Amino acid sequence: MAGGYRQQPGASSGGTRKDGKRVAGKQKFPPPGSGGSHPNMGPRDLDSIPESVGGKEPQPAGSHIHDRYRTGTEVGKPRALVDSYAKVTGQAWYGDDVRLQNEIIGKILRSPYHYAKIKSIDTSKVEALPGVLAVATGADAPNTFGVLPVTKDEHAMAVEKVRHVGDLVACVAAVDEATAMEALNLFEIEWEVLDPVFDPRKGLEDQDEPIHWRGKYHVGTTNVQKRVFQEFGDRSLVVDPTASSHGKWRMEGVHHGFTEPHAVVAHWDPNGRLQLYTPQQVPHYAHRALSTVLEVPMHQINVIRTFVGGGFGGKSDPFPHEMCAAILSRKAGRPVRITFSREEVYWINRGRHPSYIEVKMTADDEARISGFDIDALIDGGGFASFGHVTSYYNGVLATAPYELGSFHYTGARVWTNKPASGAMRGHGAVNTRCAVEVGLDEMAEQMQVDPIDLRLANLLPPHSRTISGFRITSNGMRQALERVREGSDWDKKFRQLPLGKGIGIGCGFFISGSGLPIHWDPNRFPHATVHIQIDMDGGVTVHTGAADIGQGSTTAVAQVVSEVLALPIEMIHVRSHESDTSPVDLGSYSSRVTFMNANAAIRAALDIREKLLNAAWEMLGYHPDVLVLNDRRIYYKHDPAVGVSYLEALHKAQEDKGSLISSGAYRSPPMGGVHKGAAAGLAPAYSFSAYIAEVDVDVETGLVSCTNVWAAHDCGKALNPLAVEGQIIGSCHMGLGQVLSEKMVYGRTGHLQNPNLLEYKIPSVHEMPHVTPIIIESSDPEGPFGAKEAGEGPLLPILPAVVNAVYDAIGVRIRTLPLSMDVVWKAISSKTRSLGGIEATELPSPRLEHSLLQQTLAERGAQHRERDRRRQRSEDTSAYVNGVLFGFDPDRPLEDQVEGWKSAVEPVPEQLAELGLAGKAWLKKEQRQMGGDK
Amino acid sequence: MLMPPFHLHHPSTIEEACELAAGFLETKESFDWVAGGTDLLPNYKWHINVKQHVISLARVQGIDTISMHEIGAMARLGSIASSRDVHPLIAQAAGKVASSLIRNNATLGGNICLDTRCFWFNQSEDWRRSIDWCHKEDCGTGSDCRVIPNQNTLCVATYQGDVAPSLMVLEGLLHIIGPKGERQIPVDEFFQLDGITRNVLEEGEFILKVTFPEGVENRVGSYKKLRVRESWDFPEAGVAASWIEGDLSSLRIASTALESIPRLHQQEIDKLDGGFSTDKILQLSYAMMKSIKPVNNTALPPRYRKSMVKVLAKRCLQEILGDGE
């Protein structure tokens, strides 16, 4: 394939600096499948899988770079997760299952105040209590840490002040839990209580005592932690729209609700090395933070990831209690275990941000989406956590799958005196996605067209570039929409159901692995590394740092190794728990693990494969090109009788080097634009999904029950269809919780009123609809065997699908989440009042009569369908950038074609007056601009 | 979370239980009764009102009868829910309590005596310390009520038992025993304000059984429960009604989970002009709604819960009365 897809129109030259370094954003898009500098794989123009291992497999999305290495052993077969046996027999060891000899119990003293200065802590009575072996306070660990290097604002325990009820003040370790609890009452602390802030809107104003201080970068004296402004495209297109939607949303914070509470065991071994057992999604960042806080080099710390009883983003920060356990253990000289109660889990939080989101959308006379204006004010709670990224994701992850005329985003994340928000499944994308998809539904209604046809006629094709510069490779969006439409019998139901019954559509778009690692320049380290070792017994030991949090990453790695080496999966043993033995992996976040880690595993396996084939070549005399691996045997392609067993080849290969050892790595290719924030949302591939939900609404009580969901998700290639379906169904459950019942309730006094699983309403099995998972395989050119993520993206569409279905059922648009029964009832009540006090049972159901535009859309959709098919199969490799739908030439810079084509990351002064809620954060200057730098 | 220590006692007869209670009353040692433990022990784990002694009724023989006219206090809700001998309304109400796991342990007596609930109260010790305690569990601080500030005379915690209103509308009679002997009281007179007092049980007394009058089998009833999830959740509002088919004057209707005690709404029926008739379903439902004043201390807002009384009552009445006589 010639050239590859272009990253920026007209930027074919000037991509290299004088010193030979590449300039980000000035590159050609590398051919997909070329991640890293030395891809250890052949070209992609292979015709098919050899007939000897399964015949000519149909390849609807074209051939794949890994096709040659398919052996038909594991990939694509439904397989119970390899660690499921340990789990179902109760032998999996979670954080609190770790029992070391001589262990003592640690407990944490937590702040009873929302916001207060600690004037003094007297620990003498605690220390005097018999049975207490160690006490620690903030003074023992003054170094800050945080998951993002740019926002390290956490301490192991409060230094100077506490920032929310439940914030860590001190900790104690004692011979048993009862003694430790008793000791907590003996701390004598002098407080100076400060005025707390709970409402993020208040956080935008100047304060006497901001919750954190960022020095010269601090925005005024406000509590703004991060503000974002982005503007792209031709803003003149939004003038005089044919349809428009303007919605103001209020979304409550939600928590991951994982089963296993946080637990940690720390132990300094006889050599003085720290052994830390913790259920972490991201052991590597915890490793780094521990090193900083404890002032011990990383090589003197061994982070042991236990089994993780659910994470969903809630176990991806380095946590203060991990530091506490290590500090206590160092002081006491004995292993220390700390296990959280459920309240403590809610206090450490890191759940989805409570958000105020405003979305303005416009469509032109051809029903093209001429503008997205998004304003997102998100409530970060007491600490930054992943918030820097969340602030971007709320906007930039809405720039696809639709082709936009223009895009405008203002976002702000504000500190408040509440438990810290952070990353949660669908990080940052979920709330705006819901708002945007509901806006599309509203515009479709105004234009009297079918919302599915509106979407089908506005999709970006495969191998294209979004308005903000993301590289889209494979794209199964169209197929997903078509499949759910067919499966749900949409055309016979939409706007035709009786009052109280409704059907709605929603789409999703999510990253498959963050393109830039948080902690290093991509030119320095790979994102994922996998080591493989085979000794004479033939068993394959795979070392990976990928954290299996139940999503099945261990299984995925085992499967791809098994596939490449044509060995049964029982022969593959994955070791992934200890940082001492596993190569660095960045961890389980941003849906990166299967994509990056399995790619690394394939490369390591290919290395082994080559060694085996070379050995077989020596023994058989046939060149590896004509040798086939299949079920523990290597044989001549045209005469399977001529061959050697796997063990024979292995022993030959081991003759003079012993164990076969290989290392494989993956890093994403350079991508993206050059503007500030261009890296946020960049990914080597993106997943797409479309859901249709059916609901029943009790119009008298407002109770919404979701009855059916048709859920199509494009995961590239289902390495393990069973696991993908599990992720889709699980995502539906989690998303339904957010849209129907879950919320973190902060009461009149700012206290979290429901920090327990009885009052935090996670849907039960009774609330679960029938979900029909539909797997779309678009064969991503860069993914392992074509795979993309399936862990987070599937959550996104369920929210708007349900909200749109509720509208279809009762004709009332509700923009407050969750749609709990009281919220829906209130909306129905005000609607019935506005209609002259009719009974709820007399509400008119919305109906649809197609306008002339419907025909235009159907025709355009049909043309695009053919366009997408050709691009997906690489029959058409011409450049495509967002804007072609509006008549622009993809081969010339857009700035040259349109006067006023925007590409701005800061507002101009004239804009300041019109900015939305979060945009108000731009009204203040940074300290350095004001001459202050305290 | 570690439960605080207490002494557990296991009497095997009613007399033995009464003696134990009398002994503690005399020595002024605090104690609680425990039946299934599904209400008491979670509160203990949160360090709420922990007593020195706990007397378990689990081994007391003969107080778990399940029949149409008598149900023992120790009858498990799970057994009641699946029994064909009890009145279908009781089975229906018992089947809606919490989840099947909890029903297997929870008892009828425990459900009747359920402690009142409030989201300022049912919290861990650390949490309650952060609000400086509350009137219902003030830890000796004389704290104010957190639901309605500036009043520390009345506790407005909500009674969220499911079964009580059904017992009321079936004219249940409670048999109570204690060191001073046995006594009987109609279920609708058993509950007593406020959220701390809860009921007429005196120290040392416990419920033995509920009995129903002859003819209860002719009553047709229904219980409607408002909750967020079809499992686990306590009622946010509940209405039960029953009548003897064909006899409108026999109609009884009661509500629960709205105030500190469940209530029989005889007054609202009596106030209807010319007594109740089937065309007055909406009128009665509305009157019930008007008579109730929930407060903001459960999962759903009080205004909503109040409005739902009307809907639940209407649905209850329509179900049992059918299209008319």
For chain B, residues classed under CATH 3.30.390.50 are 220-321
Provide the pairing of β-strand A770-776 with A704-714. Answer: parallel
Quick one: DSSP state of residue A928? G
For chain B, residues classed under CATH 3.30.43.10 are 1-61
What is the predicted ipTM? Answer: 0.96
pLDDT at A28 over 80: no
- Measured between beta carbons, the chain B residues lying within 8 angstroms of A178 are 2, 5
Q: What sections of chain B are H helices per DSSP? A: 14-27, 40-45, 77-82, 88-95, 100-105, 108-112, 125-130, 164-169, 187-190, 266-270, 281-291, 302-321
Nearest chain B residue to A759, by CA? B299
Exposure letters A131-150 (e unless 16+ CB within 10 A, then b): ebbbbbbbebbeeebbbbee
Segment A667-683 shows an average pLDDT of 82
Q: Is A581 on the interface with B (CB under 8 A)?
A: no
| CA dist., res. A305 & res. A380, Å (int) | 27
Element (H, E) at A231: strand A224-234
Report helix, strand or coil for A862: helix
How many percent of chain A have pLDDT more than 70? 92
- AA identity, residue A368: R
- Say if residues A841 and A809 touch (Cβ distance below 8 Å): no
User: Which stretch of A236-250, A866-880, A916-930 has the lowest confidence by average pLDDT?
Assistant: A866-880
| CA dist., res. A64 & res. A44, Å (int) | 6
Gap from A113 CA to chain B (nearest CA, Å) = 6
Task: Using CB atoms, pick whichever of A754, A766, A820 lies closest to residue B230.
Answer: A766
Nearest chain A residue to B234, by CA? A758
HSE-up (13 A, CA, CB side) for residue A822: 16
Task: Using CB atoms, pick whichever of A701, A758, A764 lies closest to residue B308.
Answer: A701
User: Which stretch of A878-882, B109-113, B307-311 has the lowest confidence by average pLDDT?
Assistant: A878-882
Report helix, strand or coil for B208: strand
Provide the pairing of β-strand A336-339 with A263-268. Answer: antiparallel
Structure confidence at residue A877 (pLDDT): 78
Report helix, strand or coil for A705: strand
Report helix, strand or coil for A160: coil
Task: Test B230 with A820 for CB contact under 8 angstroms.
Answer: no
Structure confidence at residue B153 (pLDDT): 83
Question: Helix A598-620 and helix A646-654: axis angle, to 10°?
Answer: 90
- For chain A, give the mean pLDDT: 91
Q: Is A166 on the interface with B (CB under 8 A)?
A: yes
Segment B150-159 shows an average pLDDT of 89
Task: Test B123 with A343 for CB contact under 8 angstroms.
Answer: yes
Residue pLDDT, tens place only, A336-361: 999 999 999 999 999 999 999 999 99
Gap from A201 CA to chain B (nearest CA, Å) = 23
pLDDT at A149 over 80: yes
The three-point CA angle A622-A626-A631 to 5° equals 100
Distance of CA A19 to the CA centre of its chain: 36
Nearest chain A residue to B300, by CA? A822
Structure confidence at residue A679 (pLDDT): 85
Task: Test A110 with B126 for CB contact under 8 angstroms.
Answer: yes
Q: What sections of A214-361 are H helices per DSSP? A: 283-294, 320-332, 342-348
Residue pLDDT, tens place only, A231-269: 999 989 999 999 999 999 999 999 999 999 999 999 999
Interface test with A, best of B229, B295, B300 (most A CBs within 10 A): B229
pLDDT at A2 over 70: no
Nearest chain B residue to A342, by CA? B1
Q: How far is CA B131 from CA A99, A129, B117, in A?
A: 36, 27, 16
- Say if residues A384 and A225 touch (Cβ distance below 8 Å): yes
| CA dist., res. A78 & res. A329, Å (int) | 44
Structure confidence at residue A469 (pLDDT): 87
Q: How far is CA A435 from CA A68, A647, B123, in A?
A: 43, 58, 35
Q: Is A185 on the interface with B (CB under 8 A)?
A: no
Of A25, A70, A405, the residue nearest A232 (C-alpha): A405
Residue pLDDT, tens place only, B14-65: 999 999 999 999 999 999 999 999 999 999 999 999 999 999 999 999 999 9
- Say if residues A799 and A732 touch (Cβ distance below 8 Å): no
Nearest chain A residue to B128, by CA? A112
Question: Helix A798-810 and helix A821-834: axis angle, to 10°?
Answer: 40
- Measured between beta carbons, the chain B residues lying within 8 angstroms of A181 are 2
Residue pLDDT, tens place only, A108-138: 999 999 999 999 999 999 999 999 999 999 9
- Say if residues A775 and A725 touch (Cβ distance below 8 Å): yes
Task: Test A341 with B233 for CB contact under 8 angstroms.
Answer: no
Q: Is A876 on the interface with B (CB under 8 A)?
A: no
- Measured between beta carbons, the chain B residues lying within 8 angstroms of A767 are 229-230
Give Cβ neighbours of residue A288 (< 8 Å, ≥ 6 apart).
A298, A318, A519
Gap from A704 CA to chain B (nearest CA, Å) = 10
Gap from A346 CA to chain B (nearest CA, Å) = 11
| CA dist., res. A820 & res. A815, Å (int) | 12
| CA dist., res. A678 & res. A228, Å (int) | 12
Q: Is A830 on the interface with B (CB under 8 A)?
A: no
Q: Which fold has domain B220-321?
A: Enolase-like; domain 1 (3.30.390)
- AA identity, residue A817: L
β-bridge mates for residue B176, sequence order: B183, B207
- Measured between beta carbons, the chain A residues lying within 8 angstroms of B130 are 111-113, 165-166, 751
Report helix, strand or coil for A551: coil
- Measured between beta carbons, the chain A residues lying within 8 angstroms of B300 are 820-822
CATH number of B1-61: 3.30.43.10
Residue pLDDT, tens place only, A520-553: 554 568 889 999 999 999 999 999 999 999 999 9
Task: Test B231 with A113 for CB contact under 8 angstroms.
Answer: no
Which backbone phi and psi does A551 adopt, to 5 degrees? -80, -15
Q: Is A701 on the interface with B (CB under 8 A)?
A: yes
Residue pLDDT, tens place only, A61-79: 667 778 888 888 999 999 9
- Measured between beta carbons, the chain A residues lying within 8 angstroms of B229 are 741, 761, 763-764, 766-767
Of A8, A2, A1, A116, the residue nearest A880 (C-alpha): A8
Report helix, strand or coil for A439: helix
Structure confidence at residue A17 (pLDDT): 56
Chains A–B, number of C-beta pairs less than 8 Å apart: 71
Task: Test A110 with B307 for CB contact under 8 angstroms.
Answer: no
Domains of chain A: 67-92+526-666 (3.30.365.10), 94-433+887-934 (3.30.365.10)
pLDDT at A25 over 60: no
Structure confidence at residue A890 (pLDDT): 86
Give Cβ neighbours of residue A510 (< 8 Å, ≥ 6 apart).
A397, A426, A429, A591, A686, A687, A689, A789, A792, A793, A796
- Say if residues A715 and A775 touch (Cβ distance below 8 Å): yes
Reported as a pLDDT band with limits 50, 70 and 90, residue B302 is: very high
- Measured between beta carbons, the chain B residues lying within 8 angstroms of A832 are none
* Bigger pLDDT: A33 vs A74: A74
